[in-house]
Structure 1
Amino acid sequence: MSSTIPANTRAPTPEVQPYPIQVHARRDDALSRWLWLVKWLLIVPHVLILIPLWIAFSVLSLVALVAILITGHYPRPLFDFNVGVMRWSWRVGYYAYNALGTDRYPPFALREIPGYPAGLNVEYPARLHRGLVLVKWLLAIPHLLIVGILFSGSAWLSRQAGGEIWSWGGGGLVALLVLIAGIVLAVTGQYPRPLFDLILGLNRWGLRVAGYTALMTDRYPPFRLDPGGDDPGGVTAPSSGPSVRSGADSG
């Protein structure tokens, strides 16, 4: 005697546990064919502001390190500010040469902007391991080697250490893929969806590693490429209306 299994019965798919650093984005339906050629000039005002903000980010990260060593907590005002700097940088990178995903000019703000096509949310940690903050940079070396290739090697690493805007670009696999996307956009007027999804996944990987090395979470970043605008198990890509805001909003 044989038993049959209903055709519509499937093995349960394990849910992806949301990572505390969530990156989401929505590709514009219509993108200019040629605007991407001058976005380097258009983002200059943002870069001039973000450079001192990243210097402050580095200083406050050192202050947070001491605070975590003593108390096991990341001071919330410092956390909100640093998340805001990363969020602002991601919007600029998404507009410019980390993705070319939108022609909407990025707002000058640390807080999450409802309705903007790109956003970043970081879950505030209730408590952090005191001793782990001293070795996270060492534990992250395998990721740093990978992400260094994605975002131009030593240039990306120096930006992490020096606190500059890492999304400024500077070569690597992501820059090459974005260049291909720009050329295809100029020729066809379309941004290929598979290419967009891949670029978003690579950026998401880099931002997770950046948040981990900035002491924002004790959860080790996964060695996993999560493509597309929706962060698996977490925040979805924003629609044209108001978006979900995280508890890490500031500014």
Structure 2
Amino acid sequence: MNGHADTSVYPLRVEGELDSHLSRWQWLVKWVLVIPHVIVLVFLWIAFIVLWLVALVAILFTGRYPRAIFDFNVGVLRWSWRVGFYSYSALGTDRYPPFTLADVPDYPARLNVEYPQELSRGLALVKWWLLAIPQYLIVGVFAGGAWAGFNAMSDNGGWTSGGGLIGLLVCIAGVVLLFTGRYPKAIFDFVMGMNRWCYRVAAYAALMTDKYPPFRLDMGGQESAPDTAESNVVTPKPGTGLS
């Protein structure tokens, strides 16, 4: 590591578009509506964990993440994010999530991970537990005590349960929505930042990247490259005498 701030785009991208017209009351019953998804996600996350172990062995011997397993596991993360965005990880849309691992470009919630051409064999042994411990502590605050580490991701199909600070803020947003018909944009942006942080840690723990998740809360529905040091330099106006 060097002393410069990491200003590059993370290999995992999490985005969400807040619906302009949300139902005031539908969020009260979404816990029932997502039951079919939760059932499917339980089995998908069991497969995720098994395939993660297969990928770990493959990385140790070849330095590569098997592409078919990678695409499947990304699909599980993507499915979990769509369900979470619809339900209690964001309440960002009333559009019912599709039952698919594939990317759905016109759905309001999207998740993609850049495929790594090569991965460190040594890091694969330690990054998902030892190196990620500081991240797990932060994610535990964001997503709740139920998310205690990589293995806990399979308990509720990701963060669809909406515990911790995310769950609290989403609940507040739901109450405001119920009485005013509006979702506070500031809460949405903050919730998106926390969800984005959680899924970055998930991708790192799932061995999908060697790039350590930044300690940075990138808020808002859309991801963009962080400001670089150069973009923050003030250019002196002509005639000021500054150089």
Q: Which one of the candidate residues 215, 229, 232 is aligned to 2:221? A: 229
CA contact under 8 A between 1:211 and 1:217: conserved in structure 2? yes
Is structure 2 residue 36 aligned with structure 1 residue 54? no
Q: Which residue of 1 aligns with 2:182?
A: 190
SS in 1 for 2:15: strand
Is structure 2 residue 225 aligned with structure 1 residue 203? no
Tell me how far apart the structure 1 counterparts of residues 94 and 176 of structure 2 sit (CA, whole Å): 16
Q: Which residue of 1 aligns with 2:99?
A: 108
Q: Which residue of 2 aligns with 1:172?
A: 164
Could you tell me which amino acid in structure 2 is paired with residue 61 of structure 1? Answer: W
SS in 1 for 2:194: helix
SS in 2 for 1:168: coil
SS in 1 for 2:37: helix
Which residues in structure 2 correspond to 1:117-196 (within 5 Å)? 117-136=108-127, 137-153=129-145, 155-157=146-148, 160-161=151-152, 163-164=154-155, 165-169=157-161, 171-196=163-188
Deviation, structure 1 residue 118: 0.4
Could you tell me which amino acid in structure 1 is paired with residue 202 of structure 2? Answer: A
Q: Which structure 1 segments of 5+ residues have no match?
A: 1-13, 235-251
Q: Which residue of 2 aligns with 1:70?
A: 61
CA contact under 8 A between 1:88 and 1:109: conserved in structure 2? yes
Q: Which one of the candidate residues 83, 101, 106 is aligned to 1:92? A: 83
TM-score, scaled to structure 1: 0.85
SS in 1 for 2:111: strand
Deviation, structure 1 residue 166: 2.1
The structure whose RCO (Cα within 8 Å, separation 6+) is larger is 1
Q: Which residue of 2 aligns with 1:9?
A: none
Q: Which structure 2 segments of 5+ residues have no match?
A: 227-243
TM-score, scaled to structure 2: 0.87
CA contact under 8 A between 2:15 and 2:111: conserved in structure 1? yes
The size of the alignment, in residue pairs, is 220
Tell me how far apart the structure 2 counterparts of residues 219 and 170 of structure 1 sit (CA, whole Å): 26
CA contact under 8 A between 2:143 and 2:162: conserved in structure 1? yes
Q: Which one of the candidate residues 19, 25, 31 is aligned to 1:40? A: 31
